[in-house]
Amino acid sequence: MNWLIVGHGALASLWAHHLHANDKSVSLITRNANTASSEEDFVLETNSEQQHQRIAAIPWGQLDTSRLDGAQLLIMVKAWQLDAVLQQLADVLAQGNAKPNAIILSHNGLGAADALVQRHPEWPLYDLVTTQGAWRKSPRHTVHAGQGESVIGPRQTAADNACAAPPAWFTPLANALPPLNWEPDILVQRWQKLAINCAINPLASLAGSSNQVLQDSQYNAEIQAICAEVAAVAEVVLGQGRLIASELEARVYTVITATANNTCSMLQDLKQGNPTEIDYLNGYIVQLGAAYGIPTPVNQRLYSAIKALQV
Ligand X SMILES: NC(=O)c1ccc[n+]([C@@H]2O[C@H](COP(=O)([O-])OP(=O)(O)OC[C@H]3O[C@@H](n4cnc5c(N)ncnc54)[C@H](OP(=O)(O)O)[C@@H]3O)[C@@H](O)[C@H]2O)c1
Catalytic residues: 193
* Residue 76 binds ligand X, judged by CB under 6 A: yes
Least distance from C-beta 279 to ligand X, angstroms? 12
* Residue 133 binds ligand X, judged by CB under 6 A: yes
Length of the chain: 311
Which of 256, 247, 249 is closest to 204 using CA atoms? 256
Opening angle at CA 114, ends 227 and 242, nearest 5 = 35
Q: Which of 79, 117, 214, 278 binds ligand X (CB under 6 A)?
A: 79
Least distance from C-beta 144 to ligand X, angstroms? 9
Least distance from C-beta 108 to ligand X, angstroms? 3
Stretch in the footprint of ligand X (CB under 6 A) among 37-45, 74-82, 211-219, 243-251: 74-82
Q: Which is nearer to ligand X, 11 or 248 (CB)?
A: 11
Q: Which of 3, 5, 7, 57 binds ligand X (CB under 6 A)?
A: 7
> What x/- string results for residues 158 through 187 when contact with ligand X is judged by CB under 6 A?
------------------------------
Output the residue with the shortest Cβ distance to ligand X: 9
Q: Which is nearer to ligand X, 76 or 243 (CB)?
A: 76
* Residue 282 binds ligand X, judged by CB under 6 A: no
What is the Cα 246 distance to its own chain's centre? Answer: 24
Stretch in the footprint of ligand X (CB under 6 A) among 29-37, 150-158, 216-224, 299-307: 29-37
Q: Where does the chain show beta strands of DSSP type E?
A: 3-6, 26-30, 38-46, 49-59, 72-75, 102-105, 125-130, 133-138, 141-146, 150-154, 180-182
Q: Which of 27, 72, 130, 192 binds ligand X (CB under 6 A)?
A: 130
Q: Which of 27, 53, 81, 259 binds ligand X (CB under 6 A)?
A: 81
Least distance from C-beta 91 to ligand X, angstroms? 11
- Beta partners for residue 58, in sequence order: 29
* Residue 67 binds ligand X, judged by CB under 6 A: no
Which residues in 193-222 contact ligand X (CB under 6 A)? none
Least distance from C-beta 297 to ligand X, angstroms? 25
* Residue 283 binds ligand X, judged by CB under 6 A: no
* Residue 108 binds ligand X, judged by CB under 6 A: yes
Nearby residues of 75 by Cβ (< 8 Å), 6 or more positions away: 6, 82, 85, 86, 89, 103, 104, 105, 106
How far from each other are the two terminal CA atoms of the chain, in whole angstroms? 42
- Beta partners for residue 144, in sequence order: 46, 134
d(CA 199, CA 251): 11
Which residues in 36-55 contact ligand X (CB under 6 A)? none
Q: Which of 3, 4, 5, 6 binds ligand X (CB under 6 A)?
A: 6
How much is the CA Rg of the chain, to the nearest whole Å? 19
Nearby residues of 217 by Cβ (< 8 Å), 6 or more positions away: none
CA of 67: how far to CAs of 3, 71, 116, 133, in Å?
A: 10, 7, 22, 30
DSSP 215: G
Burial (CB count <10 Å: 0-12, 13-18, 19+), residue 204 = buried
Least distance from C-beta 274 to ligand X, angstroms? 8
* Residue 27 binds ligand X, judged by CB under 6 A: no
* Backbone angles phi and psi of 273, in degrees to 5: 75, 20
Q: Which residues bind ligand X (CB under 6 A)?
A: 6-12, 29-31, 76-79, 81, 84-85, 88, 106-108, 130, 133-134, 136, 265, 277
